[in-house]
């Protein structure tokens, strides 16, 4: 895998004006192998921070506004200082321009509460050129369903558990992927303890029922999907209806197609759920990925 390129951001308050040198002067490319995170940074010691991962095509970060909205929402849920979105927009443009234009890539944006005992956020970006051939888009994935451990109304009952925030505490998500692999699957779909489809560890879920594209509603404790928003915008242009609602586990087996959507891997068709083959809409899969790859913003 190509070596990631790291940029350190001198994080500014949300209402700050750009310095004399512009926001560009607050973004520094780190030397290869340079340590940039202190051992007492709360991102490292407690996972106390938020992040976003954007796909990059031809050096252009994708779905920037949607990712910015989600970053700001996650920061608010964690009671972090609001990010200066113009500063981060410049930082992402700088990071994207450092990647080659002949392949896809990604940018991970990290905003931490900062060093313990200091009242200042820290932040950085990691830009990576992909060496993936993205066979997932044609071959598809087998998935298993796994219990997320709480009901679909978690946001109402226990908002302090931060449902809907994209935090750095991803140990559970990584453990989920390892469990899926142990069960002979490529990925997993979370179910609420009362049987509703939620999301995958790193992806949103999309279903097709006839001429309607369906995704689980986000007020059940899941992240709003940035790629899913792009897909719904495409669907409206193609004459397809869209719907976000409660999705039952049985709907995964009784649909005309199911996909996992993410910023870098884009639309991955699901071929099997819990060992049961399901319908694969290859024509719509190709159309979705072609349209997502054609975006330049």
Residue boundaries of the structural domains of the chain: 5-129, 136-293
pLDDT per position as a tens digit, 221-250: 999 999 999 999 999 999 999 999 999 999
Whole-number pLDDT of residue 170? 93
Closest CA to 221 of 91, 77, 111: 77
Q: What is the pLDDT of residue 219?
A: 93
Task: Indicate the angle between helix axes 64-77 and 226-238, nearest 10 degrees.
Answer: 140
Task: Show the tokens assigned to 92.
Answer: 């992402």
Longest Cα separation, the chain: 60
Model confidence at 296, pLDDT cuts 50, 70, 90, reads confident
The rounded mean pLDDT for the chain is 95
CA dist., res. 137 & res. 54, Å (int): 18
CATH architecture of 5-129: 2-Layer Sandwich (3.30)
pLDDT number for residue 133: 87
- Per-residue pLDDT tens for 86-140? 999 999 999 999 999 888 999 999 999 999 999 899 999 999 999 888 999 999 9
- Can you tell me the mean pLDDT for 34-63? 95
Tens digit of pLDDT for each residue in 173-220? 999 999 999 999 999 999 999 999 999 999 999 999 999 999 999 999
Cβ distance 48 to 24 under 8 Å? no
Residue 7 tokens read as 């940029």
Give the tokens for residue 268.
């991955």
Write down the pLDDT at residue 252: 97
3-state secondary structure of 6: strand
pTM higher than 0.85: yes
CA nearest neighbour of 220 among 138, 282, 292, 159: 159
Architecture of domain 136-293: Alpha-Beta Barrel (3.20)
**Tokens 């200091």 map to which residue?**
118
């Amino acid at each position: 895998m190509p070596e990631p390129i790291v940029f350190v951001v001198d994080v500014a308050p949300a209402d700050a004006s750009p310095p004399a040198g512009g926001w560009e002067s607050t973004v520094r490319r780190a030397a290869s192998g340079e340590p940039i995170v202190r051992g007492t940074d709360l991102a490292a010691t407690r996972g106390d921070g938020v992040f976003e991962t954007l796909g990059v095509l031809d050096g252009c970060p994708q779905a920037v506004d949607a990712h910015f909205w989600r970053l700001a929402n996650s920061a608010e849920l964690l009671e972090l200082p609001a990010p200066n979105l113009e500063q981060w927009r410049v930082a992402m443009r700088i990071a994207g321009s450092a990647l080659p234009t002949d392949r896809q890539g990604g940018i991970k944006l990290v905003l931490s509460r900062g060093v313990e005992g200091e009242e200042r956020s820290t932040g950085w970006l990691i830009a990576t050129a992909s060496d993936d051939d993205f066979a997932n888009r044609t071959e598809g994935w087998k998935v298993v369903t796994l219990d997320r451990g709480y009901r679909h109304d978690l946001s109402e009952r226990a908002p302090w558990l931060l449902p809907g925030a994209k935090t750095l505490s991803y140990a559970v998500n990584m453990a989920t992927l390892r469990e899926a692999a142990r069960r002979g699957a490529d990925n997993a779909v979370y179910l609420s303890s009362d049987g509703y489809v939620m999301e995958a560890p790193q992806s949103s879920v999309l279903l097709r029922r006839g001429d309607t594209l369906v995704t689980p509603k986000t007020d059940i404790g899941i992240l709003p999907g940035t790629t899913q928003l792009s897909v719904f915008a495409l669907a409206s242009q193609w004459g397809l209806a869209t719907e976000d609602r409660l999705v039952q586990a049985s709907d995964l087996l009784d649909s005309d197609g199911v996909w996992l959507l993410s910023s870098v891997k884009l639309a991955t068709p699901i071929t099997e759920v819990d060992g049961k083959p399901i319908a694969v809409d290859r024509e719509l899969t190709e159309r979705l990925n072609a349209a997502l790859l054609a975006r330049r913003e």
